[in-house]
Amino acid sequence: MTGNSFVAEAMKLEDEELLFRLDSIRERERGELARFLAALGEVDRRHLIERKAFPSAYTYCVRKLRLSEDEACRRVRAATACRKFNFILSHIADGSLTLTGLALLANILTPENVRSVIRRACGKTTREVARIVVEIAPRPEPTDSIRSAAPASESNPTAAPQGLSIGRPAGWDRVQACSADRDSYSFAAPTNLRAAVQRIKEIIWHQDPRARLGDILLRVCLFWLEHNDPQVKLAKNGPRAKKRDSKPGARAIPEWVQDEVRKRDGGRCAFEAEGKRCGETSGLEFDHIVPFAIGGPSDDPANIREVCPNHNQYLARLAFGEKVDRRKQDGLDRLPP
């Protein structure tokens, strides 16, 4: 159906019939949401997301199911809670507990408090649920946030910037775009950061007497990346020379092999399935294609690849069975950094 068809269908209905239709649609929507959360939890239990070359349930929801970043965050958090405590699904289905409310509660639910907390949260607004959360788990420091903001001379105090959550709820960075090249950062930091920033200002005064905190942090970040980012060092210096820096048959992967693998894989998870590559860039680990435990060499780049943590665990389970320690245990999986 086209957009006009949906509108035309609604316009034909009498008032009471239209209200009844709206209530019916919402009721079905709640039931479908409960089924979605149950299905997402089961998909994770069967490791189907990793098998399809996605690094996480969050990424699967965004890329494959085309949910917004905020929707994906909420649904992954809620599905994690429902997988641990199945009875919550009935509250989602009957509308007494909202998806946003459950996502807020997910991190504080335990076997000891879950029933009392859910009972308190049912029928509450998002603001009231948030109050329950901070009562149980007070957070003395503010949530880290990032907002795009125009310089003071260009700012419009009456404008309401549109926001896009790109991180985890309860502590993830947020971005709200209202300027192309300026961001406003807000975060809690150790008290000695002030002295460190002041000392840097003093050192660079002749180069940039008007340096602001953002300029200094950018310099520090770029300096750190230049000296610590493997991809940056590889691009700058090239692969390290092949040498015998480990004993034959050792598990440790030689530095020259690591460089060759990074150059080949490009700093992205190399796991592939059905012609699709995962491509995750966060938390990459080296994986033996033929496991070391059954004779796979560590000194041959052809037997080493970079993979994300979820696919490293998935491949270990394929090789050694479900008894392999699973990092995500009682949760669906990592959300993005």
Residue 141 CA to residue 129 CA, distance in Å, equals 19
Beta bridge partners of 287: 305
pLDDT (0 to 100) of residue 137: 87
pLDDT (0 to 100) of residue 110: 96
pLDDT (0 to 100) of residue 212: 87
- In degrees and rounded to multiples of 5, residue 226 shows phi and psi of -60, -35
pLDDT (0 to 100) of residue 186: 76
pLDDT (0 to 100) of residue 234: 85
pLDDT (0 to 100) of residue 172: 44
CATH class of 238-320: mainly alpha
Angle value at C-alpha 225, between 223 and 227, nearest 5 degrees: 75
pLDDT (0 to 100) of residue 119: 96
Angle value at C-alpha 337, between 106 and 181, nearest 5 degrees: 120
Residue 120 CA to residue 97 CA, distance in Å, equals 10
Going from N- to C-terminal start, the domains of the chain cover: 13-136, 142-187, 190-228, 238-320
- Give the pLDDT means over successive 10-residue stretches in the chain (337 positions): 84 93 94 97 92 92 94 95 96 96 95 96 93 84 55 40 34 48 76 89 88 89 91 83 67 91 93 92 93 91 94 91 60 53
pLDDT (0 to 100) of residue 188: 76
